[in-house]
Structure 1
Amino acid sequence: MGINFDLNDLQAFRAVVELGSFRKAAEAVNISQPALSRRIDKLEEALGVRLFERTTRSVTLTTVGRVFAPSAEQLLDDLDVALLGIRDVSSSRLGHVTIACVPSVAYYFLPGAVASYHRRFPRIRVKILDSSANDVLAAVISGEADFGVSFMGSQEPDVEFKMLLQERFVAACRRDHPLARKKRVTWNELYEHEYVSVDKTSGNRLLLDQALGAVSPRMPSVCETRHVTTMLGLVEAGLGVAAVPSMAMPGRNHHILTSVPLVEPVVKRRVGIVRRRGRPLTPAAQEFHKTIVEMRHGAAASGDTSDDDASLKKRPGRKTSS
């Protein structure tokens, strides 16, 4: 069988697969809908199979189409690699990238990274899976995510972990709480007060249990939850204090919440990029990976380091979960 289709036909096919609509795909590749349909017809005729089941209301891949889609994607990705350095190619690239990230880190890293990436590659869709550290690892290992940003994974044999920064745990409390007047708080002092904690499904809980073997709270927590967002809400409501990663805290101008460094011991978590070992990134994911690393290096050069106590108060007000 002769090869009677070209790159434009493959791009039209990928656009329909990704967008699920001939109309949206035609807009994405900047041609009319009839012209896009002709490209799909040409590709199907060259292959001798139907790739889509089309009705007036929906477009779905046939069984053969589902088999062909990954091959077409790989072909276009390989071409992207070859063309990546050529001027003006980036503005016309079409694709997608999926990032898994723990929410307490997502707010710190991803908004600026996504905005920068979108300016360079406006037609590449970014999907963020904001979930627990265990779910982030699972998404990376399974291939659901191109890569992840998390504080777990350095011990996993199937995962490569590249550290971006270290951040310490701090005591989150209301400004009218006795601990708010201290310059630092020991873990034993923290546990003398009513406190809220994360449950055993949280990666933060595992990290703290390992680091605090010699520290025994004299009473159980008032409440357990899975996410730091909820913990901070409970602290704000006056239910006690909480140990949280520094990035999860709102900024220094928050009218209710503040943080105090925790000591004896100082507990830190290493935040980094997790990737499936031996799996190369697609060009779209490689560029997003590069964007995150460059933004982190830029922040470090400007003195915005989360491991610096003073910097914990400099960021704008926000809350996140972990």
Structure 2
Amino acid sequence: MNVSLRQLRAFLAVARQQHFRRASESLHLSQPAVSRHIAELEAELGLKLFDRNTREVVPTEAGRYLESAIGRVLDELEGVLAHVHSESERRRGKVHVASVPTLSAGLMPQCIADCAKRYAELTIQLHDQSQTLVLDSVRGGEVDFGLAIDPMTAGEFDSEVILRDPFVVVCRPDHPLARLGRVPWRKLHGQRLVLLDYSSGSRRLIDEALARRGIEVDIVQQTGHTLTAFRMVEAGLGISVSPALSPPPSTLVARPLTPVEHRNIVLLKRRQRSLSPLAALVWERLRALAAEWPAGGTG
């Protein structure tokens, strides 16, 4: 049968209102259009659905049966269609995420690729920034949320730790520390170090780990990016302490530091501000991907 939703909606409105004019008003259609839909439906079914007179429109026995059956079905169908539309709208648009460089190069590419496969109409705009700028972007509402090292600023942001990223020592294969399976922090005493500068959230944590142990080092260079630090290590300028999520090139080796010191990777947003449904979707994907990340999860 060639029965349309428009015809069924028109039928249901007339059956409930028992009046063509009131039915047409409720549907925001003209009265002739509603009459036409009813006539077409009756012709398709080969049944008379209404008894009409000058004062009212009364469903026939067949009309009453159709009203009771189709009302429930149409209500369910409207709910299904509304849900599908809502899901479609929820996954269409752009989400702005600010991320520190080590995570922009590590966790974010996988998230962007994963979301591209799952949600074709969702675009993630990555803002690759230093720790300070990530916090400023979140604070100023320039991005939906940030991915950063825990700033330890109680109460300023709503944040969630999603990953604990341990620090490693990075050196050339011919360096004496490369022969060790794990490197005690005390072995760094007196070493020439190439470290990230203070625009990185990691530097404060590295300094604190050294200071707690009374370890004195010779900081020969400070850089804004781990890749630059690695190139300096390759050139023989010294060794480096780096997050495990930022692995060195194959020309260098990374060894775990013991006891383990790590940086907390957090998702953070403006305090007491709700994420849009789209941004919440990306937040959840980052949380799920971090839980599977080999660097250690949130335990």
**TM-score, reference length from structure 2:** 0.66
Tell me: CA distance 1:119–1:88, structure 2 relative to 1, closer, same or farther (3 Å).
farther
Match of 2:254 in 1: 259
Tell me: CA distance 1:236–1:88, structure 2 relative to 1, closer, same or farther (3 Å).
farther
How many residues are treated as equivalent by the alignment?
A: 218
Displacement of 1:114 = 0.9
Distance 1:217 1:223 in 2: 18
- Counterpart secondary structure, 1:248: coil
- Percent sequence identity is 32
- Counterpart secondary structure, 1:155: coil
Asked whether the 8 Å contact 2:167–2:243 carries over to 1, the reply is yes
Distance 1:116 1:85 in 2: 23
Matched, 1:306 2:295: yes
Tell me: CA distance 1:191–1:307, structure 2 relative to 1, closer, same or farther (3 Å).
farther
Matched, 1:115 2:110: no
1:141-220, aligned counterparts within 5 Å?
141-220=139-218
Aligned equivalent of 2:238, options 240, 244, 258:
240
Displacement of 1:181 = 0.3
Larger Rg: 2
Match of 1:133 in 2: 131
Aligned-partner residue type, residue 104 of structure 1: T
Match of 1:269 in 2: 263
Aligned equivalent of 1:281, options 262, 270, 275:
275
Aligned-partner residue type, residue 275 of structure 1: K
1:76-95, aligned counterparts within 5 Å?
85-86=83-84, 89-90=87-88, 94-95=92-93
- Alignment deviations for residues 239-290 of structure 1 (CA, whole Å, 9 cap, x no partner): 110010111114xxx5311111112x43111112111111111122111112
Displacement of 1:124 = 3.0
Distance 1:143 1:240 in 2: 40
Asked whether the 8 Å contact 2:193–2:217 carries over to 1, the reply is no
- Counterpart secondary structure, 1:221: strand
- Counterpart secondary structure, 2:138: helix
Tell me: CA distance 1:103–1:118, structure 2 relative to 1, closer, same or farther (3 Å).
same
Q: Which runs of no fewer than 5 residues in structure 1 stay unpaired?
A: 1-81, 309-322
**TM-score, reference length from structure 1:** 0.61
- Alignment deviations for residues 177-202 of structure 1 (CA, whole Å, 9 cap, x no partner): 11100122222312333221222333
Displacement of 1:157 = 1.6
Q: Which runs of no fewer than 5 residues in structure 2 stay unpaired?
A: 1-79
Distance 1:206 1:95 in 2: 37
- Counterpart secondary structure, 1:222: strand
Displacement of 1:93 = 5.3
- Counterpart secondary structure, 1:195: strand
Distance 2:171 2:142 in 1: 37
Distance 2:82 2:273 in 1: 19
Asked whether the 8 Å contact 2:190–2:218 carries over to 1, the reply is no
Displacement of 1:219 = 4.7
Tell me: CA distance 1:211–1:84, structure 2 relative to 1, closer, same or farther (3 Å).
farther
CA RMSD of aligned residues (A): 2.6
Match of 2:225 in 1: 227
Distance 2:82 2:188 in 1: 52
Aligned-partner residue type, residue 192 of structure 1: G
Tell me: CA distance 1:140–1:246, structure 2 relative to 1, closer, same or farther (3 Å).
same
Aligned-partner residue type, residue 247 of structure 2: M
- Alignment deviations for residues 9-50 of structure 1 (CA, whole Å, 9 cap, x no partner): xxxxxxxxxxxxxxxxxxxxxxxxxxxxxxxxxxxxxxxxxx
Tell me: CA distance 1:255–1:248, structure 2 relative to 1, closer, same or farther (3 Å).
closer
Distance 1:163 1:244 in 2: 19
Match of 1:71 in 2: none
Displacement of 1:230 = 1.2
Aligned-partner residue type, residue 88 of structure 2: S
Aligned-partner residue type, residue 252 of structure 2: L
Match of 2:102 in 1: 104
